[in-house]
Structures are given as C-alpha cells and as structure tokens.
C-alpha cells in the first residue's frame, strides 16, 4: 500500500481510511465506537428498513463494494432471508476503474465485479459499503452500475456515515452516524475478512 | 514501476499483479459496454519506427478502451523520413504533453534511451526494440498460458510448467522477453533452434537448449505444456543461417506429425505474423490447441493492464 493511503490528512484519499489494514500504522489513539452486538443490531435494522421501504424483498439486488461492502452485503442478505424467507441475490461491484482520483493515487488493485444472473435491469439495487465519507466511491459506483443496465432505483446502505461529503450524495440506510474530524480515520474490522471480532473504531486525530 | 522496458525488470510479484489486473480487464471486455473512463484525459502516443499490425492496433485498442486519447505516429510519412532524430521527435512529443509513449524501434535500446535521457516526462512502454525485448508480448503469452493451464487463477504463477520456444531465437525479441518472464514466473524454458540461430552467450540464459525438435516434442526434456513457434525473421537476416526454407521447415517446423507427439493438453503458440508453411503448417496453426487468435485478444487486456498500472498514481513516482 502506498504512503498516500496511509496518510490520514491526505485530501486525495478520502475513502481510504477504513480500508487500511492492520499492522501498518504507527501507534495511535484507537477508540472503539461500535461493538459486535451493535454492528449486528444496526445490520438487522437496515435489513428491516430495506424491506419496509421496498414493501418486501421483491426485485431487490444487493451489490457490495469491495472489500468490506461485499461482506456486509452477504450479511444483509442472510438477514433478509431470515426475516422474509426470500432469497435476495448478492453481487459485487468494483469501482476502481471509475474513480476520479486514479491519477493521484498509487496503484490500486482491481477486484472482480460479479453481478447476479438476473442482472440489474428494472431491479431495486441496494449498494452496500462500510463507510460513507466524501461520496466519491458512490459516485464511481453509480457510473460503474450504469454500464450494466438501468436499475429501477438505486439505494445506498452503509454501516457508518462519517460526514465530510464532497458530493451531493446521501445514504438511505445508515448503521450509525459518526461525527468525525477529517484528521481521524474510521476503521472497520469484520470477522470474515480481518479475523477476530467485528469492531468499528476511530483512529488518530487530536488527542487531549 | 515507472516504465516497462524489459521483462528482466519485473519481479515475480509485479508480473503476477499485471496478469491479475489483465484478468479483470479481460472481464470488462466481455461486457456489453467495453469502454472504461479510467484514463480519461491522458494522452498515449504510439511511436512506431517499424511496421506492426497486431501490436499497434492492440495498444491503440487498449488505450481507447480506457478512454485515453491516442496519437499514432509511424516513421513512414513523418519527418523521420526527412532525417529527424529520435531526440527531436521525443522533444516534440514532450511539448505535446504525452503521458505515455509506446515505442517500437529497429534499434535495441532505443526505448531505454527514450526513458532515461530526460527528453520526455511521460512513461515509456517498450513495444519491441530491435532484437532486444518485447515485454508486452511476453506478458500476453504468460497470460495466455496461465488462463489455459491454471484457469487464470488470481495470484497463480507458472511453476513447474515447461515451454519450448522454437525457431529464430537469434533475431527474436519475443524469445528474450519470454525466457526472462517465464523463468521469473517459475516455468522451465527449452530453446530449440539450429546452432546458427542461437545467439552467442546463450549458455548464460536461464534455460536449456536443444538442436533437435523431434526429441523435445517427444519428451526428451520432459513433458511440454506449450510450444511457442517463432517467426523466421527474413528481414533481419543478412547471411545464410540455414541451407533452404524446405530444410528448415523439415527440421524445425511444427506440423501435424510433431503435434501428435505432444502431450494432450500442450498448447501451440505463435506471436504472429506467421510464415505459414515455413515454421508452422496450416494444420498446426488452425488446430484447436492453437492459441494464436486468443493471444491477440489477450494482448488488448494485458496492454490495458500495463497502461493502467503505469498511468494511475503517476504523481507518486511509484506504481506496482
């Protein structure tokens, strides 16, 4: 990973902080803000909201944005199945090649994009990501999505909304609103990817 | 990675990351809308001092699919025929703001000179220089091998695979690039050629050599996973390297008889353009084992990957 992705004050890496992996950062103040049980409750609530809003699971497609958005999308699908007994297709949508900051960023690996068999035409697509920050990832996701078809509607579900939007984008379903300073980073750990327990924490920033 | 001049510069991890990105690029090329906005606003110049069909079209397609602006320059019909030097052409390109220069040149080392002389700011991609290297060809060959033999598994290398490269090794930049890249990826390479068409110092290359194609296809150096035929480069031959085309064809050409001796799964490759009837018969070239057309299709994906890796995050000064 590049220095730019590690630098919390870099304006070029607005969406990156939550994706920074363990073991690479200098010792900094880490403050856990969401415990495993809270994350589970937030996801259950989002699942209910999605169903309520859509009046059932009909025509829903969940698309996770790599890496942790995909894990969250699968968890959401499991909850939708538990609540409504409906099978909601899950896919992944890689947005790397649609980003507007590629020129400033060091090399980013490209993840696979896999759409469910039914495609997205006339479906209600719920984009799922871990942290909503500048909104640039979501803009890229909307562009990427338009290459695959024309969904009837696109909604956005995020685990954490940390503010500091740079584009007119908002989430339909938010696990938790976390007011943060731009100097801080929000770190999301999910057991499937990172091992250990689920946790959302705030790293760095001004320490008193 | 700032320039791509030689496969010798690539580490195993870098090579694998190019192949992995190429796999994703190939996936985008199976979509209905093939164009991606990734390199919008960047300028790629194709600087071709030598004739080429595949490589130039392939680079052009790759750059356009990534939304870069493409300027094609060929020495024929340009001021080069009025005697303009490489340096002056390079300074012109710099003034036009080229972000990447894809260069093919008859003189070995020309891309290296272009990259390191300070004439241009952009990144340089070697698209074949003299008898030196042709790195993107080797990458697309490796990609083709990996997609056929390892199902294009991300992160996979070619460990334990055995590839014979047959023919005019002396004049072949494809052979040089492939020997280095395939060895880096863990494959074993056997070069098969008449003694006159093997370069001096071949003993120092990380591969074995043979003069006998029948022995090699029959398993004399172990079971082969692929045979890569090289074009007999008549335009570079200024002396008699073999007695007659017929004799060359009988001893070093790939025909149905030799193909039958290969293991079932072994691939037949050729970088093109082919001399049908000389180094490869039509029967071999058009057989289902032949990946020759597939190699061309993979070339676009591999070159998209190379342009993406070199041109994204350029201001950081370091890439993959």
Check if B7-132+297-316 and B135-295 are the same fold: yes
C-beta of residue B250 within 8 angstroms of C-beta of residue B212: no
**Inter-chain CB proximity A98 and B36 less than 8 Å:** yes
* DSSP-derived secondary structure letter, B235: G
Degrees to nearest 5, angle at CA A63 with A59 and A66: 175
Q: In this predicted complex, what is the ipTM?
A: 0.75
Q: Which residues of B touch A111 (CB under 8 A)?
A: 24
> Which residues of B define the annotated binding site for carbamoyl phosphate?
54-55, 104, 134, 137, 272-273
Distance of residue A107 Cα from the nearest chain B Cα, in angstroms: 5
Q: Which residue of A has its CA nearest to B314?
A: A103
What are the residue boundaries of the structural domains of chain B, listed by start?
Answer: 7-132+297-316, 135-295
Distance of residue A87 Cα from the nearest chain B Cα, in angstroms: 26
> Which residues of B define the annotated binding site for L-aspartate?
82, 173, 231
Cα distance between residue A157 and residue A146, in whole Å: 18
**Inter-chain CB proximity A98 and B28 less than 8 Å:** no
More confident residue, A75 or B152: A75
Nearest by Cα to B183 from B4, B2, B8: B8
Return the bridge partners of B29, or none: none
Cα distance between residue B121 and residue B244, in whole Å: 48
Distance of residue B313 Cα from the nearest chain A Cα, in angstroms: 4
Cα distance between residue A125 and residue A90, in whole Å: 10
C-beta of residue B296 within 8 angstroms of C-beta of residue B144: no
Tokens of B312: 């994204």
* DSSP-derived secondary structure letter, B259: H
Cα distance between residue A44 and residue B289, in whole Å: 53
Q: Mean pLDDT, chain A, as a whole number?
A: 86
**Inter-chain CB proximity B20 and A109 less than 8 Å:** yes
Section A42-66 average pLDDT: 96
Per-residue confidence (pLDDT) for residue B31, from 0 to 100 = 86
What is the SS3 string spanning chain A?
CCHHHHCCCCCCCCCCHHHCCCCCCCCCCEEEEECHHHHHHHHHHHHHHHHHHHCCCCCEEEEECCCHHHHHHHHHHHHHHHHHCCCCCEEECCCHHHCCCCCCCCCCCCCCCECCCCCCCCCEEEEEEEEECCCHHHHHHHHHHHCCCCCCEEEEEEEEECCCCCCCCCCCEEEEECCCCCCEEEEEECHHHHCCCCEEEEEECCCC
More confident residue, A8 or B87: B87
Tokens of B217: 């296809």
Reported as a single tens digit per residue, the pLDDT across B142-166 is: 999 999 999 988 999 999 999 999 9
CATH for B7-132+297-316, among 3.40.50.2300, 3.40.50.1370, 3.30.457.10, 3.40.605.10? 3.40.50.1370
Cα distance between residue B193 and residue B231, in whole Å: 12
Average pLDDT across each block of 10 residues of chain B; the chain has 320 residues. List them in order.
Answer: 94 95 93 90 94 92 96 84 88 91 96 94 95 97 96 92 96 96 97 95 94 95 96 82 90 95 95 93 95 95 96 53
Cα distance between residue B66 and residue B35, in whole Å: 6
Does residue A206 register a pLDDT over 70?
Answer: no
C-beta of residue A83 within 8 angstroms of C-beta of residue B287: no
Q: Which residues of A touch B39 (CB under 8 A)?
A: 102
**Inter-chain CB proximity A2 and B318 less than 8 Å:** yes
Distance of residue B314 Cα from the nearest chain A Cα, in angstroms: 6
Reported as a single tens digit per residue, the pLDDT across A129-174 is: 999 999 999 999 999 999 899 999 999 999 999 999 999 999 999 9
For the domain made up of B135-295, the CATH class stated in words is alpha beta
Mutate to test the interface with B, among A96, A102, A136, A144 (most CBs of B within 10 A): A102
Q: Which residues of B touch A109 (CB under 8 A)?
A: 17, 20-21
Half-sphere exposure of B265 (CA within 13 A, CB side): 13
Per-residue confidence (pLDDT) for residue A29, from 0 to 100 = 86
Q: Which residues of B touch A121 (CB under 8 A)?
A: none
Per-residue confidence (pLDDT) for residue B1, from 0 to 100 = 78
Per-residue confidence (pLDDT) for residue B152, from 0 to 100 = 83
Section A54-72 average pLDDT: 95
Does residue A17 register a pLDDT over 70?
Answer: no
Q: Which domains are seen in chain A, by residue range?
A: 36-180 (3.40.50.2020)
Cα distance between residue A94 and residue A140, in whole Å: 9
C-beta of residue A42 within 8 angstroms of C-beta of residue A168: no
Cα distance between residue A72 and residue A59, in whole Å: 19
């Amino acid at each position: 990973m590049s220095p730019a992705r590690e630098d919390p004050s870099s304006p070029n890496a607005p969406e990156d902080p939550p994706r920074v992996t363990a073991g690479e950062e200098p010792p900094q103040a880490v403050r856990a803000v969401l415990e495993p049980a809270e994350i589970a409750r937030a996801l259950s609530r989002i699942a209910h909201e999605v169903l309520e809003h859509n009046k059932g699971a009909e025509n829903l497609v969940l698309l996770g944005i790599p890496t942790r958005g995909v894990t969250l999308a699968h968890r959401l699908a499991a909850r939708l199945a538990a609540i409504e007994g409906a099978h909601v297709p899950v896919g992944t949508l890689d947005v790397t090649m649609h980003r507007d900051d590629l020129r400033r960023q060091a090399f980013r690996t490209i993840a696979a994009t896999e759409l469910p068999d039914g495609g997205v035409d006339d479906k209600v697509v719920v984009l799922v990501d871990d942290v909503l920050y500048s909104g640039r990832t979501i803009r890229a996701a909307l562009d990427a999505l338009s290459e695959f078809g024309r969904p009837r509607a696109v909604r956005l579900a995020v685990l954490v909304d940390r503010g500091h939007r740079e584009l007119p984008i908002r989430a339909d379903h938010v696990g938790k609103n976390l007011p943060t300073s731009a100097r801080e980073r929000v770190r999301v750990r999910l057991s499937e990817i990172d091992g250990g327990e689920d946790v959302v924490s705030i790293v760095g920033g001004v320490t008193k | 990675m700032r320039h791509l001049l030689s496969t010798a510069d690539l580490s195993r991890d870098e090579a694998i990351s190019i192949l992995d990105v190429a796999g994703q690029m190939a996936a985008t090329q199976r979509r209905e809308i093939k164009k991606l906005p990734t390199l919008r606003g960047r300028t790629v110049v194709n600087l071709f001092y030598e004739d080429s069909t595949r490589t130039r079209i392939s680079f052009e397609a790759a750059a356009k699919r990534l939304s870069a602006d493409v300027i094609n320059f060929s020495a024929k019909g340009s001021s080069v025929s009025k005697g303009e030097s490489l340096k002056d052409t390079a300074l012109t390109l710099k003034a036009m703001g080229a972000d990447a220069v894809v260069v093919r040149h008859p003189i070995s080392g020309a891309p290296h000179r272009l990259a390191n002389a300070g004439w241009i700011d952009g990144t340089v991609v070697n698209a074949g220089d003299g008898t030196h290297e042709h790195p993107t060809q080797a990458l697309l060959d490796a990609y083709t091998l990996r997609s056929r033999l390892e199902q294009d598994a991300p992160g996979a290398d070619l460990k334990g695979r055995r590839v014979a490269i047959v023919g005019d090794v002396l004049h072949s930049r494809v052979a040089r690039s492939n020997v280095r890249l395939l060895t880096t990826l863990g494959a074993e390479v056997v070069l098969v050629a008449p003694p006159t068409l093997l370069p001096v110092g071949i003993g120092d290359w990380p591969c074995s050599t043979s003069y006998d194609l029948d022995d090699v296809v029959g398993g004399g150096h172990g079971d082969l996973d692929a045979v890569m035929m090289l074009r007999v480069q008549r335009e570079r031959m200024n002396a008699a390297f073999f007695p007659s085309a017929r004799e060359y064809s009988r001893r070093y050409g790939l025909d149905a008889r030799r193909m039958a001796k290969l293991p079932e799964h072994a691939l037949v490759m050729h970088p093109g353009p082919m001399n049908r009837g000389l180094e490869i018969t039509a029967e071999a070239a058009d057989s289902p084992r032949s990946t020759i057309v597939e190699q061309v299709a993979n070339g676009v994906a591999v070159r998209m990957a190379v342009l993406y890796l070199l041109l994204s995050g350029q201001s950081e000064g370091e890439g993959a």
